[in-house]
Chains A and B, each alone.
Chain A
Amino acid sequence: MRDRRLAYAIGIVALIGLGVAGYITYEHYSGGSPVCLASGGCEKVQSSHYSKLAGIPVSVLGLVGYFAIIVSLFIPGETGRFAGALIALIGFGFSAYLTYLELFNIHAICQWCVASAVLMTALAVLTVLRLLEAESRVSTIA
């Protein structure tokens, strides 16, 4: 069944995302005292004040987002599919904004953040497909 395959794909992509966001979060906290760095895109992006939203590092928000998408896979029916698509779309929108900031405002690119943005985009596409996918059992009664 296509729904099942999509669910697997979403699960795998979200797990990779969880890994990426986990890594950025770890780097963020293991850095100890905050610093302003001379070189290296990631440090620049991570030490920018945009790296936090209302005091929460955006990598933590990513971590929560990926986790929530995985959780949504275990919620049966349309509720789970709707929740998954909603979270992925929020993640996609925010990732797009962050990538815009990196390019035009911070002038530094963090490969890990871009990787996360790509994964979120893939998740948005997959979850939307899954939401739109007809449940074949319902439509073929005869």
Chain B
Amino acid sequence: MAGKAERRAAARADREAREAQAAQAAGRRRRLYMLGGAVVVAAAVVGIAIALSSGGGGSKSGGGSGGTITGAAEVEAELAGIPQSGNTLGQASAPVTITEFADLQCPVCQEFNQDTLSKLIPNEVKAGKVKLIFRNLQTATHDEATFRAQSSAALAAGRQNRQWHYIELFYRNQGEENSGYVTGTFLTNIAKAIPGLDLTQWTQDRTAPSNSATITADAAAAQTLGFNATPSILIKGPKFPSQAISGAASYGDLQKAIKAVGGTTAGGT
């Protein structure tokens, strides 16, 4: 009798063990399916995120690719009637001097140019209250040779007192940083789009050794001022101390700084 009960118990234990094993196997399979599902969903989400991320960058086509430089008429209209001398835009007698350290490939510099300087130039600069000086500081451009080539191209335009035309046109046609759009052709196409620029002279001046010296001096000046980002702005006026702003300052910030150094601004605009 005892043997029979034992056998029955053993059989039950055996059956339970098998059931448990089956349940375990089923559970394991289910969890693997869940993991598979999680992997697939995660891959899809990451894929969408990557598409969004690279798409955001792709919206900037890089002006050089098409070979056409746009905005020449706009720039000419903006700068018409404002005196230029080398890297300076505005009347020499302007009481306030704003020195901007920038990298032509830096997207934030382009934003600053588009959002802030586009208001400062037709107002304070045109009215002779402020003059703008452009100086070179390598940030966004990774390759030093490219940085020097693009900076020299602008400086060469400066020798014909059209550096700000060059800068404004470069920003308007700026491509995605370091995508390789800044080629000799791109730089020449910008020069070609500037009305009244002597292209032969410009081509000669591009390789002038003094450009290189200027770029090096600009970098040293930035270092002395403690500037390591672009755009960095120094605002000097009749009243001390000077004001320094790092980053894409708004037009309002700039006007405040101009007043702080004893300058005047265009009212209300």
Contact = CB atoms under 8 A, between A and B. Distances in A.
Interface residues of A, number: 37
Contacts of A135: 27
SS class of chain B's interface: helix, strand, loop or mixed?
Answer: helix
Contact of A35 (B19, B177, B246): B246
B20 A33 contact: no
A111 interface: no
Interface of A: 31-39, 43, 47, 49-50, 52-54, 78, 82, 85-86, 89-90, 92-94, 97, 107, 128, 131-132, 134-135, 138-142
Interface string B205-238: 0000000000000000000000011111000000
Contacts of A49: 56-57, 107, 176-177
Interface in B118-177: 137-140, 142, 176-177
A86 B248 contact: no
A53 B53 contact: yes
Contacts of A43: 229
B16 interface: yes
A37 B229 contact: yes
Contact of B56 (A39, A54, A107): A54
B28 interface: yes
Nearest to A93: B46
A33 B52 contact: no
Contact of A142 (B13, B39, B109, B246): B13
Interface in B228-269: 228-232, 245-249
